[in-house]
Structure 1
Amino acid sequence: MNEQQQAGAPDGFGNAQTGGHTGPPPGGWGPPPRPDTAVPGPPPQHAAPPPPNYPPGPLPGWGYYPPPPPPRRRHPGRRAVALAAALVLAVGAGIGIDQALRSGNSSNGTSSSTSQVTPTALTPADAVSKAEAGLVIINTTVGYQDARAAGTGIVLSANGEILTNNHVIDGATAIQATDVGNGRTYTATVTGYERNGDLAVLQLKSASGLTTAKLGDSAKVAVGDAVTAIGNAGGTGTPSAAVGNVTALDQSLTASDEATGSSEQLSGMIQVNADVEPGDSGGALVDSTGAVVGIDTAGSQSQGGAQQGPQQGFAIPIDTALPIAHQITASKSSTAVHIGPTAFLGLEVSSGSANGRGGGNGAGNNGGNGSANGSDNGAVMVAGVIAGSPAAQAGITQGDEVTAVDGHTLSGPDSLTDLMVGQTPGKQVSVQWLDTDGTQHSTTLTLATGPAD
């Protein structure tokens, strides 16, 4: 844990708000709610079009018909840059929105009696003004895909510990974060992540005196409570907000990846009718006092950006996220929590089924966003190899089948991804594979430092 801690915040995690805005920004909250229309101009030329979307399907707890598709994980730019909608993300591609309140299916109701007790419930604009100084705008470079990405993070400590979604930094080879409170931009490194829980902690280099987020108690959140989702929606580089209400608690869902078609199971989520958009990921879901009660993570969106039915957003409860954040900042690794730099083989692989997570999506642990499926025998089919990587130096090529790593027989791409979580750069591991002629090979290679998973 860093030595400088926010006064009044247990273990340095900011339950004490200092500094920040005391009212609306200069000129007021003038811009009208952002319309759900296309971002002007063509998409960035460096980004390839996304693959076809999954067909619509029902989700647990959705009480209307026809149901929307599985909520898309709000991944940064490389997962949305080519969509013909207002959800296009690209670093530096701001569209002139400054602190706008986004439209949402909100009511004018106040928090229920089971919500956090406060003398006065704030307006959404005041809640944003109170909470925004405890956020950072995250921009990443996804080097192996020649892409850029954007997201949001929550300031946990004055020394620059930042809580965000793992998918915000998945595949990142460089990360920068701009603190909303002081306007400074910092280089960030990944302290650790919990991939299955979609959480990560970053450390801002040479940061001090940051305003920390006021953290609430998600156990007190009740259906009907007024909430505001704040984040870097659209990758504009400034916080904006969507107002709404809590519609359900403890929700389980399958969140799909907009780029690869893979998906993952999320559970225990807070469901809201606020419009959570790409770029909001890792941002704050705040209650009527401006306290963070959840981490914006996913939202419903139909194919091509058209909305079917009510807006739906999902957030990880802050009470779920904080123990994982504490474990990461205490450098306590486990089978689920990875600490420090990510080990890298340099293989491009993908999921062998529609429900798989994929073996290294977005240049993750295994090195890429390949398109080949797993082999029938459980081996991992190689869709491509990153030039200069350990796998390339070992002579592994496209079309080969990796059968074992570090003495562990593989049962598909997911098993390789899980295995790599526990590895560290510089470690020597054995690798066995079959080439396209069926000849078996074995070698020992040294894992490199790769992008975050």
Structure 2
Amino acid sequence: MTTLPPPDRPGSPEPSMWANPTTIELTPHEPRPDATAPPPPPPAPSTADRRRRWPRRVALGLTLVVAMIGAGAVGAMLQNRLDADPAPPQRASEVALDIGAERSDSLPPIDVAAVADFVAPSVVTISADVEGPLGSGGSIGTGVITTSDGEILTNAHVVEDATEIRVRLAGETEPRLATLLAADAGNDLALLRIAGDDFVPATFADPESMRIGDDVVAIGFALDLDGAPSVTQGIVSALDRTIVTASGALDGLVQTDAAISSGNSGGPLVNALGEVVGINTAVARGDATVAATNIGFAISVGEALPIVESLREQAEGEVRDEGYLGVGLDDRRDGGQGAIIAQVEAGTPAAAAGLEAGDIVIAVEGSAIDGGAGLVAAVRDQEPGDELEIQILRGSEVITITVVLTDRPET
């Protein structure tokens, strides 16, 4: 489990370069007392509203305080589990959800058992032998099949430092060897492949279809418990969240109150149509001064799918460099929105564009910046040579500045 100091703790930290976010400390995630309790029965359609310690890492977690966990069609009858419903839910595209169009309707009430059965063939257990700084150990997590020829998406931290990776499919008793195709630690995603064909890929939701309040279920091998994956229900609590990790920052996150535990890392967050809306990654936990209840995070499909394409290119030998801005950042502590430029390095794109210490970045390319982590993520997602239109607040004046990013200087 990875722990960060809460963002709203008292005191003002020393400004840090945006490329060096707050260091996190790995800690175990404790099992919930009711981890083995049977799940409640699914609601009737008419009334539904809708770790161990090293040497074996059970999918690490990140706390925010952030705790990192390491984090076809739905079918007319959702694998025949919706027999009692004369009008089973259809795919989003069949419910007035055109790609790129705004959703004007509500998703149907979620049938947890039916959705879990439908998604099960696309969810796998991932176990890895790890050779890390602390010695030999292991890691357990979850993955999602993305193509019929055996491509699997999971969290990068699940397979970090792995010397061997194994994948076990639903309904099978023996694991299969997997190959790591590519990993992006900054975005905490990795692609694996297993030999074979005719696997059942998951269906990913239209990124524009998610709404706050939608019913969702998190599916994964929580605590490495025997048997089938654990399924927990919740809602989409918020969208476009950003959190800081040791590798950078994660943005474009879906916040959910569905219970997420160690071992869930890399597993799907799924909507009522059986579509993957996010990859479970993190959970917030409280400490002596901060309360956190039912706050989990998943990398949204809108953020994950472009990264998958980038990972595929990386697997083919194409290396993507991240853009470099050259500033030190701090978060605002006056209740306002944005990221404070605490320092501007000489000879950097930021200096060339006229950014100054004290400027408050409030938007990048028209998207609001909520804090330092948001600006880190916005820059990280760009490449050298890209132009960024940055809106800043300088004193009482709002100014728009264009910055041309460069390669990160060698150190």
Q: Which residue of 1 aligns with 2:129?
A: 141
Does residue 1:219 correspond to 2:208, yes or no?
A: yes
Report the structure, 1 or 2, having the larger strand content.
2
Q: 1:193 to 1:265 in 2, by over 3 A?
A: same
Does residue 1:267 correspond to 2:251, yes or no?
A: yes
SS in structure 1 at match of 2:285: coil
Give a deviation string over 1:29-70, Cα, whole Å, max 9, x none.
Answer: xxxxxxxxxxxxxxxxxxxxx89x5444439xxxxxxxxxx9
Q: 1:135 to 1:129 in 2, by over 3 A?
A: same
Give a deviation string over 1:335-368, Cα, whole Å, max 9, x none.
Answer: 359xxxxxxxxxxxxxxxxx9xxxxxxxxxxxxx
Cα displacement (A) at 1:157: 1.4
Does residue 1:243 correspond to 2:193, yes or no?
A: no
2:287 and 2:124 map into 1 onto residues whose CA distance is: 29
Q: Which residue of 2 aligns with 1:229?
A: 218
2:173 and 2:38 map into 1 onto residues whose CA distance is: 14
Q: Contact 1:286 / 1:294 at 8 angstroms: preserved in 2?
A: yes
Give a deviation string over 1:261-318, Cα, whole Å, max 9, x none.
Answer: x4631111111111111111110000011111111111112359x9934311111111
Q: 1:240 to 1:265 in 2, by over 3 A?
A: same
Cα displacement (A) at 1:327: 3.1
Q: 1:117 to 1:291 in 2, by over 3 A?
A: farther
Does residue 1:58 correspond to 2:43, yes or no?
A: no
RMSD of aligned Cα (Å): 4.0
Q: Which residue of 1 aligns with 2:115?
A: 127
Q: Within 5 A, what are the aligned runs for 1:31-430?
A: 54-58=4-8, 82-83=28-29, 85-86=30-31, 97=36, 100=39, 109-110=49-50, 121-144=109-132, 145-180=135-170, 182-204=172-194, 206-237=195-226, 238-255=228-245, 262=246, 264-303=248-287, 308-330=291-313, 331=316, 333-336=318-321
- Segments of structure 1 that go 5 or more residues without pairing to the other structure are 1-49, 60-69, 89-94, 256-261, 338-354, 356-417, 419-453
Cα displacement (A) at 1:129: 1.4
Give a deviation string over 1:345-393, Cα, whole Å, max 9, x none.
Answer: xxxxxxxxxx9xxxxxxxxxxxxxxxxxxxxxxxxxxxxxxxxxxxxxx
Cα displacement (A) at 1:184: 4.6
Cα displacement (A) at 1:324: 2.1
2:170 and 2:122 map into 1 onto residues whose CA distance is: 7
1:117 and 1:214 map into 2 onto residues whose CA distance is: 20
SS in structure 2 at match of 1:329: helix
Q: 1:336 to 1:151 in 2, by over 3 A?
A: farther
Q: Contact 1:300 / 1:311 at 8 angstroms: preserved in 2?
A: yes
1:301 and 1:116 map into 2 onto residues whose CA distance is: 35
Cα displacement (A) at 1:100: 4.1
> AA paired with 1:86?
P
Q: 1:298 to 1:163 in 2, by over 3 A?
A: same
> AA paired with 1:267?
D
SS in structure 1 at match of 2:162: coil
> AA paired with 2:145?
V
Cα displacement (A) at 1:234: 0.9
Q: Contact 1:245 / 1:272 at 8 angstroms: preserved in 2?
A: yes
> AA paired with 2:156?
N
2:105 and 2:205 map into 1 onto residues whose CA distance is: 10
Give a deviation string over 1:77-134, Cα, whole Å, max 9, x none.
Answer: xx55x55x2079xxxxxx99498469xxxx9535999669799544122211111210
1:170 and 1:101 map into 2 onto residues whose CA distance is: 35
Q: Contact 1:229 / 1:243 at 8 angstroms: preserved in 2?
A: yes
Q: Contact 1:157 / 1:212 at 8 angstroms: preserved in 2?
A: yes
1:180 and 1:294 map into 2 onto residues whose CA distance is: 20
Q: Contact 2:185 / 2:247 at 8 angstroms: preserved in 1?
A: no
Cα displacement (A) at 1:163: 0.6
Q: 1:150 to 1:244 in 2, by over 3 A?
A: same
> AA paired with 2:283?
G
Q: Contact 2:107 / 2:214 at 8 angstroms: preserved in 1?
A: no
Q: Contact 2:255 / 2:296 at 8 angstroms: preserved in 1?
A: yes
1:153 and 1:143 map into 2 onto residues whose CA distance is: 21
> AA paired with 1:298?
A
Q: 1:96 to 1:270 in 2, by over 3 A?
A: closer
Q: Contact 1:158 / 1:208 at 8 angstroms: preserved in 2?
A: yes
2:4 and 2:106 map into 1 onto residues whose CA distance is: 43
Fraction of identical pairs, as percent: 28
Q: 1:118 to 1:159 in 2, by over 3 A?
A: farther
Q: 1:167 to 1:119 in 2, by over 3 A?
A: closer
1:140 and 1:153 map into 2 onto residues whose CA distance is: 12
> AA paired with 1:203?
R
> AA paired with 1:325?
V
> AA paired with 1:324?
I
> AA paired with 2:319?
S
Cα displacement (A) at 1:180: 1.5
